[in-house]
Amino acid sequence: MEKKTEQWSTRLGFILSSAGAAVGLGAIWKFPYMTGINGGGAFFFIFILFTVLIGLPLLIAEFVIGRGAQKEAVSAYQKLAPKKSIFSFIGHWGVIGAFILMSFYSVVGGWVLIYSLMSVPGMLITDGTDYAALFDTITGNPLLTVAGLAAFVLINSFVISNGIQNGIEKYNKVLMPLLFIFFIIIVARALTFEGAMEGIRFFLQPDFSQLNGENILYALGQAFFSLAVGISVMVTYSSYLAKDVSLTTSAVSVSIMNIMVSLLAGLAIFPIVFAFGLEPAEGPGLLFIVLPEAFSQMPFGELFLSLFLFLFLFAILTSSFSMLEIITSSINEKVKASRKTIAWAAGLAVFIFGIPAALSSNVLADFHIFGKTAFDASDFLVSNIMLPGGCLLIALFVGFKMNRTLVEQEFHAGNQFGNGMFQVWYQILRWLAPVMIIIVFLYSIRDILKI
């Protein structure tokens, strides 16, 4: 007997949850330092352009697959794709990618959880603190990093075990509005500093002389991954959506929210960085090292640092919910066990698989896979191979293999878009998106190919 599929209780719940899946490390951690490294405003402008031209069409494609099949990722492709074709295995590709991604994503989630808890009693900002040394101390402690990993996975398992409406939707309806409220508070504070306008100009005033081919490819890659497309989490989320909801307007809403979060992240970070004479091109250490240093120099800095860290924690959680959900739902479709049992078992598996990544900064620092630590190897595999590979397969599947009548039906359902808009989206998916994905993929693995 086929298991009954849950549904979102409201369209807003679906949009907030989908936006939450997209908003995470990419938007709040990676986007600001990538913008800082790659020229500021020009990079942001190109990122928005590619999000609209490439990321949005891919997001709509995943929505079409999920709602069209009314199945989670693995079963959706098996139902819609030609039997025993490569496309029937895209769902498995996504589940494996989500599992690996969550295993090292949860390590960073654990770091942020530790920082957040330390900030509440005022343990982060103290006189003479060396923030680079503090970060090394935290990530270099094996018991602490594994405990952080365990706590982060525990929170995820609890939420996913409660289902769609009482789990993912319920908590996203709280966490996403809080994320925006916290962001607005921090942006308002950041804009009060002397020198803040220099940071605003850096972020919002494009200087296209700073752009080169490498910057443009990075912006394209950031756009692909900022909407959580490529590992079919959006296929699973849209499978819980009612047939009278417009997929295209929902996808546009999610894209706008994602761009807004990226905008708020830049407006929160760059005015602070420039006001305190710090380096915008700091890289991955921007969040854990540079910003605590900046907050330590301002009145009520501990309070605002704590707000920022909890904001970051909320964003990581809403994104990780989607990863554990695609794993849980795919198993739940095939196994005769309760969702709660499967969710906790999946969480335990993620925790065990994530331990090597958690220990990569301490006891396993000398252990390397193809010259990379377990953490970096997992990150490279997902970000540079599995995500672009999944994007390419999804574009080709919807563009060439999925039943076109069903594709058109799902695209038009619940909205007033005419055939012209459908044709534009469909041709982008068939031709432009695959070419762009292949270019980014080849560039991202250039060191392996020696090109």
From the DSSP assignment, how many helices (H) and strands (E) are in the chain? Answer: 23, 0
Question: How far is the CA of 212 from the CAs of 209, 217, 316, in angstroms?
Answer: 8, 9, 31
Q: Can you spell out the DSSP letters for 356-388?
A: HHHTTTTTTTT--BTTB-HHHHHHHIIIIIIHH
Q: What pLDDT digit, counting tens, does each position of 63-104 carry? A: 999 999 999 999 999 999 988 889 999 999 999 999 999 999
Residue 284 is predicted with a pLDDT of 58
Q: Taking residues 411-425, what's their average pLDDT?
A: 88
pLDDT at 3 over 70: no
Residue 140 has pLDDT above 60, yes or no: yes
pLDDT over threshold 60, residue 122: yes
Residue with token string 């808009």: 421
pLDDT given at position 127: 67
Please give the residue that has the higher pLDDT: either 257 or 128.
Answer: 257
Q: What is the pLDDT of residue 345?
A: 97
Give the pLDDT band of residue 315 (cuts 50, 70, 90).
confident
CA 202, distance to chain mean position in Å, is: 25
293 C-beta neighbours (distance < 10 Å), count: 18
pLDDT at 449: 59
Confidence of residue 130 (pLDDT cuts 50, 70, 90): confident
State the average pLDDT for the chain. Answer: 87
Q: What is the mean pLDDT of residues 423-448?
A: 87
Packing angle, helices 247-275 and 41-50, rounded to 10:
170
CA-CA-CA-CA torsion for 202, 203, 205, 211, nearest 10 degrees?
A: 80
Spatial contact of 153 and 358, defined as CB atoms under 8 Å apart: no
Give me the residue label for tokens 């692909």: 224
Q: How many CA atoms lie within 13 A of 176 on its CB side?
A: 26
**pLDDT recorded at residue 1:** 41
**The pLDDT of residue 282 is above 70:** no
Q: What is the pLDDT of residue 5?
A: 65
Angle between helices 419-427 and 404-412 (to 10 degrees): 120
